[in-house]
Amino acid sequence: MNTNKISITAFSSISPLGNNVAEVWEKYLDNKHCFSQQFLDQQETSVAALSAESKQIVAEIRESDPKYKFLDDSVLFALAASRKAVEQAGWKLDDIFGINIGSSRGATDLFEKHYKTYIDTGKAQTLASPTTTLGNISSWIAHDLQSVGPEISHSITCSTALHAVLNGVAWLKSGMADKFLVGGSEAPLTDFTIAQMRALKIYSRINPEEESWPNLAFDFDKTQNTMILGEGAAVCCLEAGEAENAIAYITGVGYATEILEHNISISAEADCFQKSMKMALKDENLEDIDVIVMHAPGTIKGDLTELRAIEKVFGSKLPLLTTNKWKIGHTFGASGILSLELALLMIEHDRFIGVPFGEKQNQVKPIKKVMINAVGFGGNAVSILIEKR
């Protein structure tokens, strides 16, 4: 495989942090979480939802084309982010680019509604199938952007978006494409999705109106699981080689899967993370890695096993460590790409964003290289290394 760099030439997101880069950075500086309560799964539930302004953007996209009226939010979130990113990258109508936008759960909201209609009436609605298939995110984006390249959708649980980045890098390095739009989208704030997380006993029981930190992602001494779900989408434009308008380069990718003991298990020192990080760091001097944006979902085991894996790989010389899930919760398939957004912003502003209740870490040198981790049910880890242009 040729070792040329892959350029990230644009990035766009819509999440509880906002819908433009200035707003997102401001939110990262304020040290407050984005959680509120919604009545889901028959009780008041902590969630990280889009702001009223972002919901308005999504509503306007829904109204912009009669065909969009029946689409799931997961598709519309991705459309909002993709339109902006492609414009920002300066990609034109006749540019050929691939699309790979994944989702962990897909069209959860529509699926639940269509299934309820079927149970109530004994009939399925006409559009039930095409609007709930996994592939419909990438194909609607291709329709919306009138693109002609390959389009791929996939679900690899919570590492979905970083697997999309891996796919984009592979296509670009193989020479089969020059440009790729990659990312993830998730709209999981639905009754059944929340119920599933509660059944696993990993959902936070802390009321955000009573406690400062309802999601204790990055607290390695917590005695209860505190995962909270968030919604959103993010995408980035990748181009082969060192593009003039690159905002950063992808210089390393790693992936690994570990042998499972049960459906959601992960080993005590997250072997999959050790392997994926070592692969991404192949030719790197470990002391050059400035920050790691951890997956750290806010569960006791998830947070601690990843920390142990990092300690195994880096020894006593740990980079600065952070996560954004204490702030925006776990956005499942979109979480890895929202972590990549935080990495890009820290590089751009040369400022480390830590976790307010975590052990204080001081930035002593410029931030030039950041690694992003993601792992999903099934022990499938991805690590992506990016560096300042």
pLDDT of residue 269: 85
The token duo for 238 is 């990748």
For residue 264, the model assigns a pLDDT of 63
| Structure-derived torsion over alpha carbons of residues 254, 17, 330, 389, reported in degrees to the nearest 10 | 10
Give the confidence band of 263 by pLDDT, cuts at 50, 70, 90: low
Residues 142-192 have pLDDT tens digits of 999 999 999 999 999 999 999 999 999 999 999 999 999 999 999 999 999
287 pLDDT more than 50: yes
Whether the pLDDT of residue 2 is over 50: the answer is no
* pLDDT band at residue 209 under the 50/70/90 scheme: confident
Q: Looking at the predicted structure, is the pLDDT value of residue 318 above 60?
A: yes
- Is residue 281 within 8 Å of 289, Cβ to Cβ? yes
354 — phi, psi (to 5°)? -90, -170
Confidence of residue 135 (pLDDT cuts 50, 70, 90): confident
Say what the pLDDT of residue 267 is: 80
Element (H, E) at 236: strand 232-240
The pLDDT assigned to 285 comes to 97
Q: How far is CA 218 from CA 151, 206, 303, in A?
A: 36, 16, 6
Q: Look up the pTM and report it.
A: 0.97
Dihedral sign computed on CA atoms, order 345, 350, 352, 353 = negative
pLDDT for the residue 265: 66
Whether residue 371 has pLDDT greater than 60: yes
